[in-house]
Amino acid sequence: MTQTRSSSVTNFDSWKHAYAARAANLSVSEVRALFSVVSRPEVVSLAGGMPDVSALDGALIEEAFNSMMASRRNYALQYGGGQGDLRLREQIQEIMLLDGVQGSVDDIMITTGSQHALELLADLFLDAGDVVMVEAPSYVGAVGIFRHKEAHIEHVFTDEDGISPEALAEAADRMTAAGKKVKLLYLVPNFANPSGVTLSAERRQQVLQVCKERGILIIEDNPYGLLYFENQPPKALRAFDSEGVVYLGSFSKILSPGLRVGYVLAPPAIRDKLILANESAILSPATFAQMLVSEYLSISDWKGQIDRYRNLYREKRDAALEALEQYLPRVQTTKPNGGFFLWLTLPQGLNSKEMLPLAVTELVAYTPGTAFYGDGRGANNIRVCYSHPTAENVKVGIKRLSKVINLQLDLLDTFRAE
Ligand code: PMP
């Protein structure tokens, strides 16, 4: 990654007396803390969840840009409406249909990436102490937002088939019995960040039922659904319930995260509040970026580009699984059918956070599992992101990682034998 944080930004002390109390919940995430390390060229980074934008056809992006400047320059350089551009919203309808989601253009709102949608929704629904239920583990960026809102983050048991509906019902009822307000369920049902797992079709129905019975709003975050390798994932939850599910999509993974264009399909009851919240936060989503995306969609074979990404990430996933089998047979891994991530469970006794400096010495970086929990769990997990390095470097990275892990295991074995 190229970003670095200026030291003046991280010096919180001089204005400590003036911060709102909730600012204490804003801390440097473990992923962000790695930025400066992973930008070194000799380090293979399996850390940040970045798409491989080198697979984009640059000439096509330029063509979209030129076409936008020729035909819509004044519009692109002007403020826009708070809900986002109508033509882009119509194009988004077509994209969502690929996930089985039908929605009116009136219910779609453009956001500055789906991260922004999460922030708006959390702000709209969560008072301090309210419960938001999430997968175990869950997306670090969402956990960070919920923590900042001083919500109670309840991780619910999740396995290879996604979140458990029984555990979800049990957790919701337990929280309610304890006098808490259970407001939201946040889910990444397809090729989840960080675990790579997909919620089964059967469980989707059960999860919908559990939430409907209890008046819990579902946030369905789906940035990876179109990047499947073998089989297309089951239909989105939103395809079965237009009132109880807020559906989030993004162009970050199917096109480019630099454009910062995402979208929400909201139940009509929520939509107007969301648009007001969007206007209050940013006046209007960036017209320039919206126009560029819209133009790109209209002049290019964007589905062909998604296929290119799918083939590329499949190759990298295969490289990662092959290398894990070869070099780290004692480590358990999920086997994602799409997306960017796989989730390792290390043998008992190893601590991924403590091991990270050693890994960096071996020139490989990863994200420790604790980043994906709000409650300190995940110490013997690692998220491996295979999307950005070349397939060859994914293998090199895992080989380097194996050196660190196997050394730790040997030490543990020796210690236990004594
Ligand atoms: N949700 C999930 C599950 C993600 O993995 C990410 C990006 N890593 C986001 C939301 C935010 O993406 P963006 O704001 O770029 O659309």
Structural domain total, the chain: 2
**What pLDDT, on the 0 to 100 scale, is given for residue 195?**
98
Q: Do 324 and 371 belong together in one domain?
A: yes
**What pLDDT, on the 0 to 100 scale, is given for residue 3?**
47
**What pLDDT, on the 0 to 100 scale, is given for residue 388?**
95
The CATH code of the domain that includes 218 is 3.40.640.10
Mark which of 299, 319, 348 sits at the end of a domain: 299
In a domain, 20, yes or no: no
Q: In the chain, which residues have pLDDT < 70?
A: 1-12, 29-35, 418
CA of 348 to the centre of ligand 1 (A): 31
Residue 256 near ligand 1, beta carbon < 6 Å: no
- Write out the residue range of the structural domain in which residue 198 sits: 58-299
In a domain, 64, yes or no: yes
Q: Are 392 and 55 in contact, with CB atoms under 8 Å apart?
A: no
Measured from the Cα of 260, ligand 1's closest atom is 15
In a domain, 407, yes or no: yes
Q: Do 334 and 368 belong together in one domain?
A: yes
Rounded to whole angstroms, how far apart are CA atoms 253 and 275?
24
In a domain, 2, yes or no: no
DSSP-assigned letters across all residues of 191-219: S-TTT-----HHHHHHHHHHHHHHTPEEE
- Give the residue, by CA position, lying nearest to ligand 1 atom 13: 113
Q: Do 255 and 385 belong together in one domain?
A: no
What is the amino acid identity at position 405? I
Q: What does the pLDDT look like over 50-73, one tens digit per residue?
A: 999 999 989 999 999 999 999 999
What is the token pair recorded at 269? 């009851």
Measured from the Cα of 115, ligand 1's closest atom is 14
Q: Is the pTM of this model over 0.85?
A: yes
In a domain, 166, yes or no: yes
**What pLDDT, on the 0 to 100 scale, is given for residue 240?**
98
In a domain, 389, yes or no: yes
The CATH code of the domain that includes 376 is 3.90.1150.10
Whether cis (ω within 30° of 0) applies to the bond prior to 137 is yes
In a domain, 383, yes or no: yes
